[in-house]
Amino acid sequence: MTIVLELKCGDGGFRAHPLKDRWIYSGNSKILHVLSEDILTANVFGILKNLDPKVWLASFLQNACHFSREEFPYLYKDGNYSEFSVLLWHDLDQPPSRLEGPTQADVFIELRNAAILVECKGLAPLQKRVSTDDREGDPRFWWDQAVRSIVRGYFYTRKHFERKNFFFIVLSMNEKENTFTQYFNWRRLKEQVENRVLKDLELRDAFPKDYVDDICKKLSRQIRWVKWTDLKEALQKTSFNEKGGFKTQSQFCKDIVDYLELKTKLCSLMGTREFQV
């Protein structure tokens, strides 16, 4: 299990992150990382990755993300969960053109027939202007965090798991943002994709000209904005507390529900204050 304790550390304390040796600065907070989206992600998914996916993940995809059978094939097939893994802060491939730095998936879930990239946010919004890197003299261009994650996640899935369907989920304390909802319109997504293909030729293999319409139509149906409260309610609907075979895991599920209840209340009290990262 991955459990990160949130301890009082005095003024301006530091703490080493348990994964990838990253350091997180707590500022002047009396309780270290009380509103850290990284710690929230580590505590929730660090536990969930060790629990039976047929219970919690199926409920999350159905009751929180509201995927239909058509949108998420094999959603109710046990065999889909036979190849299950959860990677935290997983590095996706960096484009060889070096136009930009690597994209990191907060949570990357692999199933037999699907790959799911989850962008975990607290109160902080999605980045609206993500810059490329022009160290080699290439023209700088901009895109937002949502479409960058969709394009890079889809490209990574095609490259490493050719037959898996790709899904992108934003998990946030906030209501759905317009920056994200525009990509439910496949034409808007296509416009962004074609703009990126012109800048990064490597993407042409993943988005061939003759099939880009069909790809973008499908991707626009495979993205979701979900709130942490939705995840909490989905976990409450799982069969952890009903089936005897899952009794040994039920307490962990209950603990996550209680933890999310505390965190969502704290966020409500904090209003528009951003999570510390």
DSSP type of residue 43: H
Would you kindly state where each structural domain of the chain is located, as residue ranges? 43-229
Burial of 74 (0-12, 13-18, 19+ CB in 10 A): middle
Alpha helices in the chain (DSSP H): 37-48, 53-59, 145-160, 178-181, 186-199, 212-220, 228-236, 247-270
The answer to whether the Cα torsion of 130, 277, 103, 187 is positive or negative is: negative
CA separation for the pair 77, 65 (Å, rounded) = 17
Q: Give CA–CA dist 151/166, Å, rounded.
A: 10
**DSSP summary character for residue 275:** P
Q: What is the pLDDT of residue 26?
A: 40
The residue with tokens 């990677």 is: 87
pLDDT digits (tens), the chain, 277 positions: 445 555 444 444 444 344 443 444 444 443 345 667 888 898 999 999 998 888 789 889 999 999 988 888 888 787 888 889 999 999 887 666 556 667 889 999 999 999 999 999 988 888 887 665 545 545 455 678 899 899 989 999 998 988 899 999 999 999 999 889 999 999 999 998 888 887 777 788 889 888 999 999 999 999 999 999 999 999 888 755 555 556 667 778 888 999 999 888 887 776 544 444 4
Query: 3-class DSSP state for residue 170?
Result: strand
What's at 221, amino acid-wise? Answer: R
Whole-number pLDDT of residue 165: 93
Which tokens is 116 given? 């799911």
Q: What is the pLDDT at residue 106? A: 93
pLDDT at 275: 41
Strands 223-227 and 165-172: parallel
